[in-house]
Amino acid sequence: MTTGQATAQAGAAAQPRVGLLRRFIQGDLAELRVILGLALIWIVFQVQEDRFLTAVNLTNLVLQITAIGLISVGVVLVLLLGEIDLSVGAVSGLCAAIMAVLSEKHGWSPYLAIGAGVGAGTLIGLFQGAIFTRFGIPSFVVTLAGLLAWQGGLLQVLGETGTVNLTDPKITGLANTFYGDAFGWIVAALAIAAFAAVSLRGRMLRVHDELPAPPLATVVLRIALVAVAVIAAIAVLNADRGLPLAALILVGFVLLFQYVTTKTTFGRHMYAVGGNAEAARRAGISITRVRVVVFMLASTMAAVGGIMAASRLLAVNQSSGAGDILLLAIAGPVVAGTSLFGGRGSVWSALLGALVIGSISNGMDLLALSSSVKFMVTGAVLLAAVVIDAIARNNRQAAGRL
């Protein structure tokens, strides 16, 4: 054993041994809490309706959560700042309408139409972020105004027809393309290999730098659990229509922004601003720039989510981006552990939260529950998540004062 390894192990042993229950209460095991909750939800719905865990329904669940998950990725970034964006639903509908009208009524190339829709989302985010930072107006007020304005923009773009059907295969294929079994297993093998390589390299670097590192057995166990989950997912998808392109798009964006938030200077600045804006300012971080860029990214992801929703439904209409989309996009990350108070959370919560919220919605649909019950249940889940977040935050603050 080298001196560095011995020092790293000694440092790890010297760390305070906080009980799992205490860490769970303080919110440090949010992902474990979500996975356990998701397992419980699946068991309950499977007992009530034996079609819930079939390959067909689980594939449909993946397709259903893609748009919400993509919008939630942007919402996570805003929540990390301790802010809120109430306009993401309306922005998703407007940007999808811009894409649809340009493609179907003006004959634009599908790629240019998609680019225009996404670009419109970026400009909306720039505008809202600039108003928020320049005039010091609370973000919920600015984005609430945006919610109303962009809904009006949707009606204006659609015009008298009210509905635009999508026929271009490049656009409709985004949510309706499935890959064969062999491709799915190749993706699974690459994903497991990449996760294993990143995990083992991360531990090796921490040991080399004489930092506390998790035991090798823990890392191997984590890799094994991820491998089982990935193999099970691909097996289920292959049992139906195959691996959907929509799932690859969602996971790709989650991985991209997970890297941005955890491995880049900008990501560290986001957490710093969300944790303590004044301290970040004193450290030389441009708070204005960080906030504007985050709101631009949030609206951009809302546009991407809106386009994916339009692709799945094969149309854009006056209700696009309305209904419970905003509620679900915000509820998902909060349920999965991203704090409403800023500075705490992970982009993975967008994916995990979308799975939880989507599973609840999907299960209630299979049980043929009324819309009133669905809204009340979803609202109750969101309220419970906020209460848990507040309790965890208070417990962490109390522990910090000891």
DSSP string across 150-187: HHHHHHHHHTTS-EEE---HHHHHHHH-EE-HHHHHHH
8 Å CB contact between 382 and 13: no
**What single-letter DSSP state applies at residue 315?**
E
Residue 174 lies in a domain: yes
183 in the Ramachandran plot: left (φ > 0), alpha (ψ -120 to 50) or beta?
alpha
Summarize the confidence of residues 91-106 as an average pLDDT. Answer: 96
pLDDT of residue 341: 81
Is 217 within the bounds of a domain? no
Mean pLDDT on 82-90: 95
In sequence order, the 6+-apart residues with CB closer than 8 A to the CB of 374 are: 324, 361, 364, 365
Domain of 52: which CATH number?
1.10.3470
Contact 307, 99 (CB under 8 A): yes
In this structure, are residues 241 and 37 in contact, taking their beta carbons and an 8 Å threshold? no
Report yes or no on 274 lying in a domain: yes
Q: What is the mean pLDDT of the chain?
A: 88
Whether 204 maps to a domain, the answer reads no
pLDDT of res. 159: 87
Domain interval for residue 382: 30-180+242-401
The mean pLDDT of 15-29, rounded to a whole number, is: 48
Q: How many structural domains are present in the chain? A: 1
The answer for residues whose C-beta is within 8 angstroms of residue 260's C-beta and 6 or more apart is 266, 267
pLDDT at 5: 47
C-alpha 157 chain-centroid distance: 28
Residue 192 inside a domain? The answer is no
Q: Tell me what pLDDT residue 18 has.
A: 47
With respect to residue 340, please indicate whether it lies within any of the assigned structural domains. Answer: yes
Q: Is residue 247 part of a domain?
A: yes
DSSP letters along 92-124, please? HHHHHHHHHHHHHTS---HHHHHHHHHHHHHHH
Q: What is the pLDDT of residues 59-84, one digit of tens each?
A: 999 999 999 999 999 999 999 999 99
Higher pLDDT, 13 or 293: 293
Secondary structure class of 226 (helix, strand, coil): helix
In a domain, 89, yes or no: yes
- Please give the share of the chain, as a percent, with pLDDT higher than 70: 91
pLDDT tens digits, 358-385: 999 899 999 988 888 888 888 888 787 7
**What residues form DSSP beta bridges with 317?**
163
